[in-house]
Amino acid sequence: MATEDTSATEQAVGHQEFQWRGRGGPFTIELRPGVFSPSSTSRVLADAMTINPGETVLDVGCGSGVLGFVAARLGATRVIGCDLSEDSVACATANAQRLGLADVTEFRTGSLFDPVPDVRADIIIADVSGVADAVAEATGWFPSGRGGGPTGAELPVAMLEQVGDHLTPGGRLYLPTGGVQDEGAVLKAARRIFGDNIQAVAQRDFPLPDVVTKAKQVAKLLSDGVIRLSQRGSRHVWQVTIWQCQLA
């Protein structure tokens, strides 16, 4: 998931410094061109996570590494992040060194779980893109311009289909869903894996710019009932929910 954030300041050669003020902070990381910036959704997810000392954490779609760094600061003894973007992996690796966390973190390049066939984790942070492509294009939230598929459910569902191979028994998945995707399809897939061991641990509402709802393809997703927005005064609002899913 993603929302707009403006907490970064520009540096030389297109790099930026970002001040993380959420859980586990404050700390400063560097962002590079093409690397997803931590968002308001990232902060909601960080607040919702339970990390016990000594646990192993797998951060799928790690971006700049920020949620993995939060997990490490909360007591995780091993954090492995993976991302399809080589730039993101290089950025996260540099940030780990900058924060003195290189001894407990590592970052690998590849799609979803492809880079970590050897890893079983106590916790998986699953903040993969869960925004419909049309919404991603209209908002510009993602450096690639792409979201999680035509309905925003395709990438999260593909992740969920593999998650059971990478969690220890009793392990926990933290999964964000929202109104700017086919949320029902994602939750249906999650229940196939976790049964009733799913609970909402956080919810937040975020405004959506009018220019997004007026985009032709976004309007069609709305009329077809694929994405769901509510009205607050003159503004459209979408809701993000963080789910804790526990493997039996």
CA distances (Å), 198 to each of 97, 174, 195, in order? 35, 10, 7
Q: Give the residue among 87, 106, 108 at the shortest CA–CA distance from 35.
A: 87
The pLDDT of residue 11 is: 47
The pLDDT of residue 13 is: 55
DSSP 34-60: T-PPP-HHHHHHHHH----TT-EEEEE
Residues of the chain falling short of pLDDT 50 = 4-12
Whether the CB-CB separation of 128 and 136 falls below 8 Å is answered with no
pTM of structure: 0.92
d(CA 124, CA 115): 14
The pLDDT of residue 209 is: 87
Domains of the chain (ranges plus CATH)? 8-246 (3.40.50.150)
The pLDDT of residue 3 is: 53
